[in-house]
Amino acid sequence: MIYKTFRFRTLIYLLPALFIFLTFNVIPGLTSLVLSFFDFSGFETNLFKKFVGIDNFIKIYEDKYFWIALKNTFLFVFGAVFIQTGIALMLSIFIFFGNFKFSVLIRSIIFFPCVLAPVSVGLVWKKILEQDGVLNAILGLDFSWLSSISLVMWLIITVNTWQWIGYNLVIYYAGLQSLNIELLEASDIDGANWSQKIFSIVIPLLWPTTILNMILNLIGGFRAFDIVYVLTRGGPAHYSEVLASYLYYYSFAAGGPNKMGVGASVAFIIFVCILTIAFARIVVMKRVEKN
């Protein structure tokens, strides 16, 4: 600390950032919680005119598509947390221990989709998955992938994994590079084979990196909107809706119900989900520190 005590004058460093953070983040966030108890639509100026209590929540509770959106969000998060992390772990071990000549190039290629906009990625895959698209041409099928109620969510998860796997990969790679080499050398002397080394040494040692990747994917999973919007717009018949796109559909979409209050209550639910995760994370972290 430069000064031993608090000086008013130095607040000038903090205030501009704090002002913007409060005005465009904290205050709207808290307002959103309040707004979920009001009924208003896109054209009103006084939002707080019509207090409806928990009507908005009852409305979404009774809406079958809300439950589909909730289920899909959890499915999406599950895919991101377990499948994506798992594949990234496998790839990073293969690249790191595989003695590849062009390992930097390989990493760059797998990483590249991360810097693309989800909109571009969604549009690339949309044409591939269409009925007259190249996937059907390769497989010799005539199947409309994105109109399949049972498959559509898994396809969205696949596309999302395709885009973000390189992100988890480079984080794992950083973890592998800081691994303790002596343990591996010791196991070599003891005559351990490659699978023993991977499953009993490398993966357990990478556990903190795995947790980090899972948390990043968990938070990212709740954010997913662009890819759903571009690939399916929540269709067919709302069967690939996630919470974020459901919120958009209820409050902004052309041809939607245009009920902002209901949208705000969906935001409330997302807020609660994230808060629960944040608390769970703190509890887990404390327990990890204790051990």
Partner 1 sequence: MEENKQSNYGATFKRSPIFFIISRIVILFFIIIIIFPLLYTLSLSVRSPETVYSAKFFLIPHEFSLQNYYDAFFYAEERLKVSFPRMFLNSIIVTTSSVSLIIMLSIFAAFSFSHLRFPMKESLYNVMIASVAMPAQVLLIPLFYLLIYFGIINTYLAVILAYAGFLIPIGILILRMFFEQIPYELTEAGIVDGSSDFQLLTKVLLPLAKPAIATCVILLFLDTWNEFIYAMIFMQDPTIHTMQVGLAKIGTSRYHINIGTYSASVMVSIIPVLIIFTIFQRWFIAGMTMGALKH
Q: What residues numbered 73-132 form the site for partner 1, per CB under 8 A?
A: 90-91, 94-100, 103, 106-120, 122-128
What tokens does 223 get?
């954010």
Are 176 and 206 spatial neighbours (Cβ–Cβ below 8 Å)? yes
Closer to partner 1 at the Cβ: 28 or 53? 28
Please select the residue that binds partner 1; options are 144, 215, 257, 258, rule is CB under 8 A. Answer: 215
Please select the residue that binds partner 1; options are 75, 83, 203, 212, rule is CB under 8 A. Answer: 212
Bridge partners (DSSP) listed for residue 41 = 259
Stretch that binds partner 1, among 30-38, 77-85, 139-147, 149-157 (CB under 8 A): 30-38
Give the shortest CB-161-to-partner 1 separation in angstroms: 10
How far apart CA 159 and CA 145 sit, in angstroms, is: 13
Q: Is 155 in the site for partner 1 (CB under 8 A)?
A: no
Q: Is 35 in the site for partner 1 (CB under 8 A)?
A: yes
Give the shortest CB-64-to-partner 1 separation in angstroms: 21
Stretch that binds partner 1, among 17-25, 59-67, 76-84, 147-155 (CB under 8 A): 17-25
Q: Is 291 in the site for partner 1 (CB under 8 A)?
A: no
- By three-state DSSP, how is residue 44 classified? coil
Closer to partner 1 at the Cβ: 68 or 95? 95
Q: What residues numbered 221-260 form the site for partner 1, per CB under 8 A?
A: 222-223, 225-226, 229-230, 233, 243-244, 247-248, 251-252, 260
Stretch that binds partner 1, among 9-17, 55-63, 146-154, 283-291 (CB under 8 A): 9-17
| Residue 125 CB partners (closer than 8 Å, separation 6+) | 159, 162, 231
Q: Is 148 in the site for partner 1 (CB under 8 A)?
A: no
What tokens does 101 get?
């000549």
Are 169 and 91 spatial neighbours (Cβ–Cβ below 8 Å)? yes
| Residue 274 CB partners (closer than 8 Å, separation 6+) | 219, 222
Give the shortest CB-147-to-partner 1 separation in angstroms: 15
How far apart CA 45 and CA 115 sit, in angstroms, is: 39
What tokens does 99 get?
């003695």
168, with CB counted inside 10 A (0-12, 13-18, 19+), is buried
Stretch that binds partner 1, among 23-31, 53-61, 75-83, 146-154 (CB under 8 A): 23-31
Share of the chain residues as helix, strand and coil, in percent rounded to the nearest 5:
75, 0, 25
Mark residues 174-193: x for contact with partner 1 by CB under 8 A, - for none.
x--x---x--xx--x----x
Phi and psi angles of residue 4, each rounded to the nearest 5 degrees, phi first: -75, -25
Give the shortest CB-138-to-partner 1 separation in angstroms: 7
**# binding residues, partner 1 (CB under 8 A):** 104
Give the shortest CB-208-to-partner 1 separation in angstroms: 11
Give the shortest CB-233-to-partner 1 separation in angstroms: 7
Are 221 and 76 spatial neighbours (Cβ–Cβ below 8 Å)? yes
Q: What residues numbered 37-66 form the site for partner 1, per CB under 8 A?
A: 47
| Residue 37 CB partners (closer than 8 Å, separation 6+) | 51, 52, 53, 54, 56, 261, 265
